[in-house]
Structures are given as structure tokens and as C-alpha cells.
Chains A and B, each alone.
Chain A
Amino acid sequence: MESLLQHLERFSELLAVSRTTHVSTWDPTTVRRALQWARYLRHVHRRFGRHVRVRTALERRLRSQWRQKGASGSAPVPGLNFQALGRCDLLLPLRLLENRALGDAAYHYLLQQLFPGPGVPDADEEALQGSLARLARRRSAVHMLRFNGYGENSVFEESVLKTQAELLLERLGEVPKAEAEGPSRFLSTLWDRLPQNNFLKVIAAALLLPPSSPRPQGEELELDTPKTPGEGGQELVRWLLAKSDVMAAFCHDLPVGLLTSVAGRHPEFFRAYLGLLTDWGRHLHYDLQKGTWVGAEPQHVSWEELYGRFQSLCQAPPPLKDEVLTALESCKAQDGDFQVPGLSIWTDLLFALGSGS
């Protein structure tokens, strides 16, 4: 077992090196050994996929590798995971093919191994050649559906968001909960490091994914994933609610309809969202001259934005609408239950929403 784990560690390093200029020192023999190793680990993946104890040990070791790699920085960088182990004989050659530092002799040998041509007796080689060709074909398919689409590109944009969301949830599922605040620390690192607007959209897309939509692993055998995306979604909501700045940005920057959809799927989020909205409402005051509700400071949400959010929630299926109206009624009551406009924002909102009594 220990020797297997050491092999895994070495391979993980090898995979990391395959991207660097270090490969300029590789000769055909090195390439051959690297490919053999990848093939061996794919067999390991096949063999122990359903063997819980071995698999857990392998996963733990892989994660400890991430941590070591991230040691120089602040947080772990995800690397090889157990599922990727099943594809490592594909991942390694792809990295090598792209690495211009690889010498010509080594590259020539790599091609001979990967593309032996037609009529290969070795089933493994034939499968690898087929997988690489299929990857090229799929890539072309994506390209064609994207650029030869008809004018607009919303299908592509939506699909990209959904794919990112699936990747995020998959990674989230791998971060061990036992390790001190694993998932939330992981998410916070991403939040600090990545363009935030895109990340917010990805979070929303992830929260809207159906409870179980495992990502296709192509022709690889499907092994039970440790956690379901549903659980990943829970982690995500928990983290979102704990980070008030992210929550505020989320509710402020994303399209209204999207927020309503998320609210419809996640009750905890809905309550927090409603709380935030009422908070924002309290920041508005009535401008007598203009005859409208205005924010005290420029960053405050405008009446129109606030009204739009409430209106969208009221158009959603029953539980949301009822709870929104109840909340507004209670705010109105706290304010003094005014019936005339311009005194309480809640009275005016209820009136604008068509529920003013």
C-alpha cells in the first residue's frame, strides 16, 4: 500500500513537471516511462474505484499533495483528483504535446506512442488514440455549435456558466469537510483570486443546477462520486450567507430574475435575501421635492431596483409571494401602518405591488 501511495505521489509530481520547461531534458526513454506510469495509475483507478478503503487513502494522499503545492501561496491549489486518475493517460500526453520545451526526439517518440496509425493490435493504445481523436472531434463540435450558431450566442454563454458551475461543485465535493473549514476556506480563496462578477454568476448557476447532475466522464467508467452536487449547493449557500460582502454583491449585481430563481430553490437564501432587501429599503428616504424615494448615499439601492426585486419575487410561485407580502406588511405595521403615500416605504411598495390595502 505504501509503495502504491509513493507511486501516486511521484506521478503527481511528474504531472506537475510535464507543464514546465524541465521536460527539455527528457529523452524518448523518459517519455516512455512517463506514459507507462500514467497507464499503470489508470489501472489503479479502475481496480480500486469501488474499494472504499484504498480509494480513501489515495484521495487523502492526493489532497495532501495539493496542500504541499499551495504551501508557497496562501491556500491549496487543486491538482490531480481520484477521478482524473482515470484519465491521467490522456492528461499527461496532452500536457506534453502542448509543451514546446519538449525536444524533437522525445516529441517524435510521443507521437509514435499516441498515434500508432490504423490497425493497432494493442487495445489500450487503440483506445488512447481513439480518445484523443474524440477529444479533437468534440472540441470541433463545440466550436461549430458556437461560431456557426445563428447570430446570438446565449446558448454558448449559458452552457459555459453551467459547465463552470458543475466544475465548481465537483471540486467543492472533494474538499474534505473534516479539515478546518475546508469548503468555505476554499471558496473564500477563489473569491479573492478570481474575477468576481463571473464568479457570482457561476455561484448562481451552481445553485440552480438540478439536485443530481453528475458531470459526464466521457467513455471512462462512472464511479460513484463521493458527494452529490446537492451537498455542494448547501456548502455554497452556507458560505454565501456567512460572507456578508459576497452576499451583498450577489444580490446587488445579478439579474433580478436569476435571484428570484435562486430564492425559489433555497429557502435559507430567500430569507437572507428578503432581510437584505428590507435593510436596503430602510436606507431610502422620501424626497418631497422629487416626490420619490431616494438613497441617502450613492451606493444605496434605488427605489426602482428595490421595487423590481420585490416585484419579481411576487411573480414567483406561491410561497415566495406570500412570505414577501407578509414581511412587507409587518414592516409597514412597525412603521406605524400608514395608509397615505410618502410616509413609509413599505406602504408605498405594497401599493406599487398592487397589494396596498
Chain B
Amino acid sequence: MAQDSVGFSSDYQFWMQKLSLWDQASTLETQQDTCLHLPRFQEFLRQLYEVLKEMDSNTIVERFPTIGQLLAKTCWNPFILAFDESQKILIWCLCCLINKEPQNSEELKLNSWTRGLLSHILSGFRFDTKEVDLLTQGLGYVPADYCPGLLKNMVLSLVSELRENHLNGFNTQRRMVPEKIRFLSRVCIPLVTLPDMEPLVEALLTCQGHEPQEALWPEFFDAVNEAFLLKKISLPTSAVVCLWLRHLPSLEKATLHLFEKLISSERNFLRSIECFLKDSLLPEAACHPAIFRIVDEMFRYALLETDGAPEVLAAVQGFTRCFVEALEKKNKQLKFTFKTYFPYASPSLVMVLLQHPKDIPQELWHQPLKHISEMLREIVEDQTHGSYGGPFECWFLFIHFGGWADIAAEQLVMSEAEPSEALLWLLAFSCSPHDGSPQRAQIMVEVKAVLSRLKKLLRNPILSAKDLQAAAAESRDRDPGPPLCQQLIRRLLLNFLLWAPGGHVNAREVTALMAPSDEIAHEMTVFLDQTLYRWDHLRMEVPRSRKLARELLAELRMAGTAMQEPGSPRPRDVMMRPFLHGMSDENEP
């Protein structure tokens, strides 16, 4: 407590000095500095109120002899009064100074002085011109009546001036000079969350300057972006796109904000991922290639840092899906070629990957899969294709459209014929982007062996989890291989379980045996959720498999909540955290 009050006193001194320096924020420097400190100052005001409300006015004056100065300086700084909730908290603070029954002249003076300040903040607005005030009074209006209307008119007038189609009564056009635009953007910083200002904020963001250098203040972009992310402002998509194109740190912050949301959401249902994605406006904004490239780059970092965490993979896929959807909606005839979005990828590969499986009959799915596999293999294993990046680049491109890998796994498990080399390669590649071809060949052999053991089980009328364990067991004894390869085998087993005619298994038994750790249980949850989501998207009529997948999912989730305190982070979140912090630190000035 004593520590707290020491901290508060030093804060008090700090802000007292700041306020004296800022004065009425009439110069460029003081305005800039005020804008920079607005949120912190509001926090201080809140603390101040918490301290003041416990005292009567006499104690306040004793404890803080300069409180009058501090509050008065605050009242006369329009930037502070305009910011967020500062004016409200300031009023609360002033209310604490009012003495109910003043006993002496000092107390009377303090009351009168405080009433003056409150009146200054609240009395609405006066035009300060006698003739105008006379008219409004003559019409029977008070400032509170016309203040909103006046603000609306000022905003509209500035907007039309910004849009360069301003016509006044003289039919002359005025164009706003860059200095004025810059000026205006600074004035707007504390005001961006005031709904009346929205048209002006939008106009500022979308106005195309004629100068090569940026006309708006960086702090203005920061303020708008912050307000947008916190949903304190609603802007049309076009304005948000302009914001992100004009101010890179805002785009980075928005992307990190999305990552944080995706990762911290209790359970990664793909449906909620999709909602977060669409809500963020990022997939839509990514139709602009410059934005796409930056967001995509950040996804790449996230994947590298987390060693290909399933949630990040799911997020990349979800993002790509929403992005392609937005692109199709936006223009049937593409404004930019896919080359601008994926500059390092082979254009023909991108075209094949972009095909939607829904548009191809199910019995022909193996054709595009084979095609994709061959093209990837050629690029990855043939060094002459240097221009399309290394194996990792190819893999990163491929996992954007990761639905194809899932289909490949499904096809391998369902087909009774000898497993196709192309499909095996594709799966091996999807789980080991860094390995050379000998290791990949090893994985292919392993997968092939698991598949053949699984096929023997196919005739079993009733499958038990033990049988499945046994099928995978042989590979367990040897070197377990890269984690992604083990993951692949688990996926194959799950796929088999979902598709095999005898797959009427006891869900609890399966999860108990197949998911020995939280980590694997979580991985299985993501996989099942993804599978169900994909089936919905492809409109696949597989009632039996769907039912089983749902049961397994429910079982896993139940086990998950039983094992875990609600709200406690999953291991993966802990893994992601340093990454997120690292990224946001970079953005700090």
C-alpha cells in the first residue's frame, strides 16, 4: 500500500509537469506529445479518482495542495477533454471537490471555482458571436440542442473539402492543402472513437494525396487501428484497406491481433476460426496483393516458430479459404494475377492447387492429386527449378491448400488397390518439408507398411482400438521419425477408423488408447474438427463416418475439460507466446 502511494505521488508529479508543459496544447509539439500520452493520462485520471473519492474536499486539498492546478490544466486542454472517457473521469474528480456545506470562505471559494470548471466542461458550446447567439436564443435553443448538429455540419464540410468536390455558396472549388490534411489528422487523434467523426476519419483514410510522402500523422493511423481492433469504431472495408496499405505497423498489429485471437480462443473450432478471420477483415483486405504478402509472411514466421503447430496450419488454411472466397466475390475477372500473390511459386501449380475439389467429381479426385504431387516432386527434387524457391517454399505454398493432403490421406485409406506412389509422396512431403529424398522414401515405406496392415483389418466385422494400436505398433519399435510423420500415421489411423465398415468402435476406448497425452488429444481434436468442416464444405454425404467423428470429438473434448482447468493455457499456447511477444516487441517504437 505504501509502495502504491509512493508510485502514485511520483505519477502525480510527472503528470503535473506534463500538463504545465502542454499548456492548452496550442503548439505542434505539445499537441503531439499530448496525443502520445492520452491513454496513459486517462489511466492516471482513473487512479486519481479512486484516491479522491475516498476523501472529503478538505482532506483532498490537504493531501494534494496543487490538485486545483492539475485539474484546471486538464480542463483547459481540449485534446484531453476530447479523448475517450477522459472528460467523464475528470468530471468525477471535480465532483469530489464540491463541499456539501461549505463552512468558511476558503471552502466557498473552492466550491465556486469547481463549479466554474464543471460549467466550462459541460455548458455545451457557444458560438462566441453575439449575433449568432442572439438568433439561437431567439429561436429558443440552448447550446446542448445545436452542438451535435454543428459538429455534424463541420464534419460534413471538411469531408466534402477533402473529397475535392467542395462547393460553397459561391460555386468555387476549394482543395485542401497537404498541410491542412496533416493538421486535421492530428486533431482527429483523440476523436477517432467519437461516432460523429466517423465520416471524417473515413475521408482522411481514403483521400488520395497528391504528394509522394504520407500526408497523415502516423499516430493517427495508430489511433484508428487501435479503435478498429477494439471495435470502438466501424469503418467500411475500403477505408480499412487504405489504413493498412498506408501504414504497415497497423497491418502487422492487426495480423498479430488476429493470431492472438485464434490461439487464445478456448477451443479451435474451425467455424469460430472462420468467424474470427472474416471479422478481422484481413482475408478481404488481402485481395490487395501487398496486404496478402505481408500477412502471408507473418503466417510463415508463425509456422517456423511453432514448428508447424496444427492450429497455425489450420489458420493458414482457413485464411486461404476465406481469401480465395473474397477474391472470387470481389471480381470474377481477376484484377491481379495469382503470380502477384504467390510470386515465388510455379503459376501452373498454383492454378491446380486453387481448383476446388467440390467442382470435381469425387471419383476423379485422384487426378488433380497426382498432378499436384508430380509437379511438386519435380520442383523439389529437381534442382534446376531454382526459381520457384526451395522445398520449404513449395511446402508452405502447398499447406495453404492443405485440404488436398487430407483428401490424399482419405483416398489412400479407402482404396483397396496398391497405394499410389504419387499420393504417398505427397503425404510424405506434407509432413517432412525439410528432409531430403532418402528420408522421404523412408517415410513412404513406413506409411505403405501401415496401410497394408490396416487393409488386413478391413475385413474385420468389428474393429477394436487394440487392433489399430497393433497395426501402428510395429513402426513404434523403431526410430519414431519426425513428429510430423508420427502425426501423419495417427491421421491415417483415425481416417481408417472413420471409413472402415467395421469402424463401430467404442469412442472412449479409442481416445483413451490413441491419445495418451494432452498434446496428442489436442492434435486429434483439431484433425477431427477439420475433417468435419471439410466434409461440410464438400457437402459429402457420409452419415456413419460423420456420426463417429462427432462422437470421438465429443469424447476428446470431454476428456480435455476434465483434465484441464478451464481457461488454463494449452501447451501449444505457451509455445506460441514468445513468438507473439517477439513480434509485437518489434512494433514498439
Contact = CB atoms under 8 A, between A and B. Distances in A.
A87 B148 CA distance: 13
B149 A136 contact: no
B140 A111 contact: no
A261 B101 contact: no
Contact of A104 (B95, B99, B145): B99
A173 to B, nearest CB: 12
Contact of A111 (B31, B95, B132): B95
B158 A155 contact: yes
B183 A158 contact: no
Given A159-B153, A171-B139, A258 B169 contact: yes
Contact of B191 (A105, A144, A146, A151): A144
A257 to B, nearest CB: 4
Contacts of B127: 160
Interface string B416-427: 000000000000
Interface stretch (B86-94, B490-498, B508-516): B86-94
Interface string A132-154: 11011111111111111111001
Contacts of A79: 140
A216 to B, nearest CB: 5
Interface in B49-88: 49, 53, 78-79, 81-82, 85, 87-88
Contacts of B172: 257
Interface in A195-223: 195, 197-199, 202, 204-205, 208, 215-218
B198 interface: no
B466 interface: no
A98 interface: yes
A329 interface: no
Contact of A204 (B123, B124, B135, B169): B169
B196 A141 contact: yes
B147 A135 contact: yes
B125 interface: yes
Task: Output the residue of A94, A105, A171, A208 with the most chain B CB within 10 A.
Answer: A94
Interface stretch (A161-169, A234-242, A346-354): A161-169
A79 B137 CA distance: 10
A286 interface: no
Given A98-B123, A117-B53, A141-B194, A163 B149 contact: yes
B286 interface: no
B407 interface: no
A194 interface: yes
A265 to B, nearest CB: 11
B111 interface: yes
Task: Output the residue of A111, A140, A216 with the most chain B CB within 10 A.
Answer: A140
A97 interface: yes
Contact of A159 (B88, B115, B150, B177): B150
B154 A104 contact: no
Nearest to B141: A167
B142 interface: yes
A135 B169 CA distance: 30
Contacts of A10: none
A139 B91 contact: no
A139 to B, nearest CB: 4
A199 B135 CA distance: 8
A70 to B, nearest CB: 11
Chain B, interface size category, equals 35 or more
A190 interface: yes
B131 A136 contact: no
Given A77-B140, A160-B150, A171-B140, A142 B125 contact: yes
A136 B87 contact: yes
A100 interface: yes
Interface string B216-249: 0000000000000000000000000000000000
A145 B142 contact: no
Interface of A is mostly: helix
Contact of B88 (A100, A129, A215): A129
A194 B194 contact: no
A190 B153 CA distance: 24
A56 to B, nearest CB: 20
B139 A94 contact: no
Contacts of B367: none
B509 to A, nearest CB: 51
A137 B81 contact: yes
Contacts of B154: 142, 145-146, 155-156, 159
Contacts of A156: 154
B388 to A, nearest CB: 52
Given A104-B101, A138-B194, A98 B119 contact: yes
Contacts of A197: 131
Contacts of B462: none
A97 B169 CA distance: 39
Contacts of B102: 104
Contacts of B151: 138, 141-142, 145
A94 B82 contact: no
A194 B123 contact: no
B157 A155 contact: yes
Task: Output the residue of A142, A156, A257, A258 with the most chain B CB within 10 A.
Answer: A142
A57 interface: no
Given A94-B122, A100-B115, A104-B101, A154 B144 contact: no
B184 interface: yes
B125 A115 contact: no
A205 B170 CA distance: 12
Interface in A93-121: 94-95, 97-98, 100, 104-105, 107-108, 111-112, 115, 117-118
A150 B183 contact: yes
Contacts of B91: 115, 132-133, 136
A218 to B, nearest CB: 5
Contacts of A261: 169, 171
A48 B408 CA distance: 67
Task: Output the residue of A107, A155, A199 with the most chain B CB within 10 A.
Answer: A155
B168 interface: yes
B261 interface: no
Nearest to A151: B180
A127 interface: no
A215 B81 CA distance: 25
A246 interface: no
B87 A94 contact: no
A148 B111 CA distance: 31
Interface string B173-196: 010010110011001001100101
Contact of A133 (B85, B111, B130): B85
A166 B149 contact: yes
B161 interface: yes
B121 interface: yes
A171 B129 CA distance: 21
Task: Output the residue of A118, A137, A216 with the most chain B CB within 10 A.
Answer: A137
A258 B135 contact: no
A259 B493 CA distance: 84
B134 interface: yes
15 contacts: A79-B140, A91-B142, A129-B88, A132-B91, A135-B147, A144-B187, A154-B168, A160-B132, A162-B153, A167-B139, A167-B149, A171-B139, A171-B140, A198-B132, A216-B149
Interface of A: 66, 77-79, 81, 84, 87, 90-91, 94-95, 97-98, 100, 104-105, 107-108, 111-112, 115, 117-118, 129-130, 132-133, 135-151, 154-156, 158-160, 162-164, 166-168, 171, 190, 193-195, 197-199, 202, 204-205, 208, 215-218, 255, 257-258, 260-261
Interface of B: 31, 49, 53, 78-79, 81-82, 85, 87-88, 91-92, 95, 98-102, 108, 111-112, 115, 118-119, 121-125, 127, 129-132, 134-136, 138-158, 161, 168-172, 174, 177, 179-180, 183-184, 187, 190-191, 194, 196-197
Given A136-B91, A167-B149, 10 more contacts: A117-B92, A136-B87, A144-B191, A148-B187, A158-B153, A159-B154, A167-B135, A171-B140, A199-B135, A257-B169
A-B residue pairs, 4 tightest by C-beta: A78-B140, A150-B180, A133-B88, A159-B153
